[in-house]
Amino acid sequence: MPTTLSAEEKKRILKALEEDEEFRYAVAGLIGLSEILKRLDRLEANQEKLWLEVKALRENQEKLWEGQEKLWLEVKSLREGQEKLWFEVKNLRENQEKLWEGQERIWFELRNLRVNVERLTLAVEEEGRDVIRHRLRSELNVDVPLDRVWVDGKEVNIYGAVGELCVVGEATVRLGVKLLDELEEKIASIKERRPDLLRPKLIKVVYADYAIPLALDEARARGVWVLKWSGDLTPRVIHTVLV
C-alpha cells in the first residue's frame, strides 16, 4: 500500500534534493529505472500479445495450407475426371463413327437388296406374262397381249384384253393371302373407275414362284388361277362380269 508523506517530510526531501547532489542523482536514477521497468513490463506484455498474434497467424497459415492442399486435391480430382470425360467422349465419337460406317454399309446392302428385289420382281412379271400368254394361246386358242396398267395410282402387273375376254392378275415371288386381297381390290377399282378395261369374261390370275397352302385354299375359293412355269397350282376359272 503506498505511503503518504507529510508536508514536513516532503520539505526535507526537497531540501535534500536541492543541497545534496549525490542524493539528487540517486533519486533521478531510481525514477529512470522505474520508468525503464515499466516500459519493460509494457514491452513484455506487448511481446506476449505479439507472440499470440504470431501464433494465431501461424495457425491460420497452417489452416490455409491445409485448405490449399485440399484445393489442389480437388483440382487434381477434377482434372482426372476431365481426362476421363474426354476419354469417354473420344470413345463415343469413335463408336459413332463406327456406327455411321456400319449404317452406311447397311444402307448399301439394303439398296443392293432393293435393286435385286426390283430386278427379280420385274423378271417374275415378265416371265409371268409370257407363261400366261403362252398357256392361253395353246389351251384356249386365244392370244392375249399382256402388259401392266395403272388404275387410280395402283399398278396392276398383268392385264390384257381381246374380244370378250380380259385377264387381270399379279406376279409375285411368294403368294400370301394379302396379295389375293389386293388383287380383288384392284379388280373392284377397275370396275368403278375404268370399266372400259373390263370384258364380259374375266380371268383372275396370279403367277408365283411359291405359294403358301392357306393362300392356295383362298385362291381356289375365290376362283383365282395360280400358276408357275412348271404348271398350275389352282384351276383356271373364267368369271362372268356385268359390264
CATH number at residue 224: 3.40.1350
> Which is nearest to 183 in space by CA: 154, 162, 210, 209?
154
Domains identified in the chain, total number = 1
Mean pLDDT across the chain, nearest whole number? 83
In a domain, 108, yes or no: no
- Which pLDDT band, with edges at 50, 70 and 90, does 237 fall under? very high
Task: Convert the pLDDT of each residue in 44-95 to its tens digit.
Answer: 777 788 778 878 878 887 887 787 888 778 878 888 888 888 888 788 888 8
Q: Which three cell numbers stand for residue 134?
A: 403362252
The helix or strand, by DSSP H or E, that contains position 176, with its residue range, turns out to be none
Would you mind telling me the total number of residues written for the chain in this entry?
Answer: 243
In a domain, 140, yes or no: yes
Domain that holds residue 235: 124-240
Task: Convert the pLDDT of each residue in 157-205 to its tens digit.
Answer: 999 999 999 999 999 999 999 999 999 999 999 999 999 999 999 999 9
The helix or strand, by DSSP H or E, that contains position 114, with its residue range, turns out to be helix 21-139
Rg of the chain in Å (alpha carbons): 59
What share of the chain in percent tops pLDDT 70? 84
Higher pLDDT, 26 or 145: 145
In a domain, 54, yes or no: no
DSSP 2: P
Predicted confidence at residue 58, as pLDDT, reads 81
Separation CA 130–CA 144 (nearest Å): 10
Rounded (5°) CA angle 78-90-102: 155
The helix or strand, by DSSP H or E, that contains position 68, with its residue range, turns out to be helix 21-139
In a domain, 68, yes or no: no
**Do the beta carbons of residue 224 and residue 180 sit within 8 Å?**
yes
Lowest model confidence (mean pLDDT) among 30-44, 57-71, 215-229: 30-44
Q: What are phi and psi of 5, to 5 degrees?
A: -85, 145
> Which is nearest to 142 in space by CA: 127, 155, 150, 132?
132
Q: Which three cell numbers stand for residue 31?
A: 525514477
In a domain, 55, yes or no: no
Predicted confidence at residue 68, as pLDDT, reads 80
Predicted confidence at residue 120, as pLDDT, reads 46
> Which is nearest to 148 in space by CA: 124, 178, 165?
124
Chain position carrying cell 375365290: 222
The winner for highest mean pLDDT among 36-45, 149-158, 219-228 is 219-228
In a domain, 198, yes or no: yes
In a domain, 167, yes or no: yes
In a domain, 178, yes or no: yes
User: Would you tell me the crossing angle of helices 177-193 and 213-222 to the nearest 10 degrees?
Assistant: 30
Mean predicted confidence (pLDDT) in 11-24? 74
